[in-house]
Structure 1
């Protein structure tokens, strides 16, 4: 049996390596995949609300909207921060006054209203009335697509 062993008596040249070790690359890619799989659900954190179904198409928005949520227990949230119902008018006034000059054309900011489907209709309408009173008339009711 003959084996091809590198000889030391040669000219000192080594043959070029014709292989690329891809194992470290695969390891790094798998670690990144796991990291993204774990962190992706955390990026959509918010107030858990069971939204009603609708066949409406999604809105195109250019600015980051203000999100107002009402959960099943009736708690009120403005951009994931819990707020007492008595403090809502003052907070909406601040949002309307801060947004009117900074937005394009002096328009009020877009408001996304997310309300749990089990809530009383009057509760949602009280919040919409406060939005209207504060001058925030660009209100979109957030729903989930039918069949989702």
Structure 2
């Protein structure tokens, strides 16, 4: 590495260029190290995942079919109900069977506010198994 000559008669300016050869050498060594160690750092955990089936879920007869339309009308097993009638009906259904399921069938354009109210009333009444019914044929 010559930064200048020792001869005082010939004045040269110091070399101002950066020598990148050692930097490239170090980077290539680091690249090789990472290429070798990267496969060793992957930890795989064996997990027994559940198998999914595309068959329809056949439910037990102890469930409540609850429908919500776009105009916020409510239906309990096909019978029209009001929001005020829901709390006693849910409470009565859970007293008869604590494991009863609530199947909510909501219109595609119904506001989430109405669905959340129904779910809140059902949860307060003790219903813990709440599900949504969808139609997979409609896209």
Match of 2:91 in 1: 93
**Residue 66 (structure 1) shift:** 0.8
2:70–2:111 Cα contact (<8 Å) kept: no
Are 1:78 and 2:69 an aligned pair?
no
2:74–2:83 Cα contact (<8 Å) kept: yes
Which is higher, the Rg of structure 1 or of structure 2?
A: 2
Instruction: Select which of 76, 93, 105 maps to 1:114.
Output: 105
Query: 3-state SS of the aligned residue for 2:120?
Result: helix
Gaps of 5+ in 2: 1-53
Counterparts of 1:5-84 in structure 2 under 5 Å? Answer: 58-84=56-82
2 CA distance for matches of 1:60 and 1:88? 25
**Residue 97 (structure 1) shift:** 0.6
Structure 1 residues 135, 57: CA separation in 2 closer, same or farther (over 3 Å shift)? farther
Match of 2:48 in 1: none
CA RMSD of aligned residues (A): 1.8
2 CA distance for matches of 1:121 and 1:61? 25
1 CA distance for matches of 2:138 and 2:76? 28
Are 1:129 and 2:120 an aligned pair?
yes
Query: 3-state SS of the aligned residue for 2:97?
Result: helix
1:36-82 per-residue CA deviation (whole Å, 9 max, x = no partner) reads: xxxxxxxxxxxxxxxxxxxx763232334211111121111111111
Gaps of 5+ in 1: 1-55, 101-107
**What is the TM-score with the length of structure 2 in the denominator?**
0.56
**What is the TM-score with the length of structure 1 in the denominator?**
0.53
Relative contact order (C-alpha < 8 Å, sep 6+): which is higher? 1
